[in-house]
A = this chain, B = another copy of it.
Amino acid sequence: MENFVAYNPTKLHFGKDVTDTLGKAIEKFGKRVLLVYGGGSIKNNGIYDKIISQLKSIDAGIFKYHGIKPNPVYEDVDVAAKLGRDNNVDVILAVGGGSVIDSAKIISITIPVENSSWDFYKGKTEPKSAIPLISVLTLAATGTEMNPFAVLQNDKTKQKLGWGNKLLFNKHSFLDPRFTFSVPYNQTAYGIVDLIAHCLEAYFGEGEATLSDRFVFSIIKEAIEYGPKLLDNPDNYELRAKIMYAATAALNGLTFNGRKSGDWGVHSIGHELSLLYDIPHGASLSIAYPAWMKYSSNIIPERVIELGKNIFNTDTTEKTISAFESFFKSLDCPVRCPEIGIGEDKKPEIIKNMTANNVSGANLKMTEEDHIKIVELFF
């Protein structure tokens, strides 16, 4: 077991009507609130009204930034940060999925500085402080509701990067599973893929950590047992709750304890596909994971077999990978590029970008030669 620090100060409020205390939680930090959200779907499902009523209950001054994109870009973060800075906000309230909350995390550290938010990703500047962040989650997927990480994209440089800092922990995180009832089929499915992928990034990371491995198996088995049932019953509270909590547990630190790091090679690959073709993060992962696992089976076959044994009761690398593929397919998620409209002619472009951006895992390193092999398996 590797040395580790377990630290997660986010206060997670999970369940029915938990946002009834949202106003109270905000008020402790102040009344000038930067409200950040996405494309406006929260206005159609009643969530927006609930949030506004909580803000009104404390006579909050509301400064809105909306229009955060599904694959969020740093320019939006910079504009929102300026809005927050100019209005001297006390607290940020993010209402949405991973892209909104990730953006809000970076807004929270960009407000106190004059730099562009992208500077943090390039290591050009270190954050000094953060405006307190409170989030209300509307999509079970990324785990950003209870961790210090955020992914942003730079369309000019064609980079999509994950980055973490302890200042990025949400102060409070509100998860009402009913807020995910209106999430459509495909986004629900992608969320399930994403949470499984987070578990796998931990599992394939550096360092032996048997209990964390068992937690990985637990979360993946939960997703495999209840994910398909949820897709058949999107308004079932218990099923929404199970998947929502599984997504949180998949990336709140739990599965990483005792490891030096996760691998994150597959996320790194997936980000390239999203960057180039604007495909959903979950779709990029359901394509990239089977391919990567085939490639890595030659290097760490025993880890792939152990995984399959504990999750699917399989006993070979092939059967394990095939079981994951079948599961992703059963959720109607793509496992090959053409299924999502990316043709074979794109191979050189994908490889070129992977190599240009040094796509690699922390544990299993990849070179251009590996990129070529892996991309071949996308088709």
Q: Which residues of A contact B (CB under 8 A)?
A: 1-16, 18, 146, 208, 210-211, 214-215, 217-219, 221-222, 225-226, 238, 241-242, 245-246, 248-249, 254, 257-258
Asked whether A245 lies within 8 Å of B222 as measured between CB atoms, the reply is no
Q: A211-B242, A211-B249 are in contact. List 17 more A-B contacts (CB 8 A).
A: A1-B242, A3-B15, A3-B18, A5-B13, A6-B11, A6-B146, A6-B248, A14-B257, A210-B242, A211-B218, A214-B218, A214-B219, A215-B215, A217-B218, A218-B218, A241-B258, A245-B258
Cα(A277)–Cα(B216), bound, Å: 42
Contact A1-B214, Cβ < 8 Å, known A6-B14, A7-B12, A257-B14: no
Most buried by B among A18, A211, A246: A211
Asked whether B210 lies within 8 Å of A214 as measured between CB atoms, the reply is no
Most buried by B among A2, A215, A217, A222: A215
Cα(A8)–Cα(B11), bound, Å: 8
Of B8, B218, B225, B249, the residue contacting A8 (CB under 8 A) is B8
Chain B minimum-CB-distance residue to A7: B11
Of B1, B12, B217, B219, the residue contacting A6 (CB under 8 A) is B12
Cα(A137)–Cα(B208), bound, Å: 23
Of B5, B9, B214, B246, the residue contacting A14 (CB under 8 A) is B5
Please give, as numbers and ranges, the residues of chain B lying within 8 Å of A219 by CB-CB distance: 211, 214
Chain B minimum-CB-distance residue to A216: B218
Of B2, B16, B210, the residue contacting A222 (CB under 8 A) is B210
Tell me how far the C-beta of A312 lies from the nearest C-beta in chain B, rounded to whole angstroms.
16
Please give, as numbers and ranges, the residues of chain B lying within 8 Å of A13 by CB-CB distance: 5
Residue contacts A-B, CB under 8 angstroms, 10 given? A1-B238, A1-B245, A3-B15, A7-B12, A14-B257, A210-B225, A211-B242, A214-B221, A214-B222, A241-B258
Asked whether B218 lies within 8 Å of A245 as measured between CB atoms, the reply is no
Cα(A5)–Cα(B248), bound, Å: 13
Chain B minimum-CB-distance residue to A238: B1
Please give, as numbers and ranges, the residues of chain B lying within 8 Å of A15 by CB-CB distance: 1-4
Chain B minimum-CB-distance residue to A254: B254
Please give, as numbers and ranges, the residues of chain B lying within 8 Å of A9 by CB-CB distance: 9
Please give, as numbers and ranges, the residues of chain B lying within 8 Å of A245 by CB-CB distance: 1, 211, 257-258
Chain B minimum-CB-distance residue to A226: B210
Asked whether B14 lies within 8 Å of A3 as measured between CB atoms, the reply is yes
Chain B minimum-CB-distance residue to A173: B6
Chain B minimum-CB-distance residue to A18: B3
Please give, as numbers and ranges, the residues of chain B lying within 8 Å of A246 by CB-CB distance: 211
Please give, as numbers and ranges, the residues of chain B lying within 8 Å of A6 by CB-CB distance: 11-12, 14, 146, 248
Please give, as numbers and ranges, the residues of chain B lying within 8 Å of A217 by CB-CB distance: 218
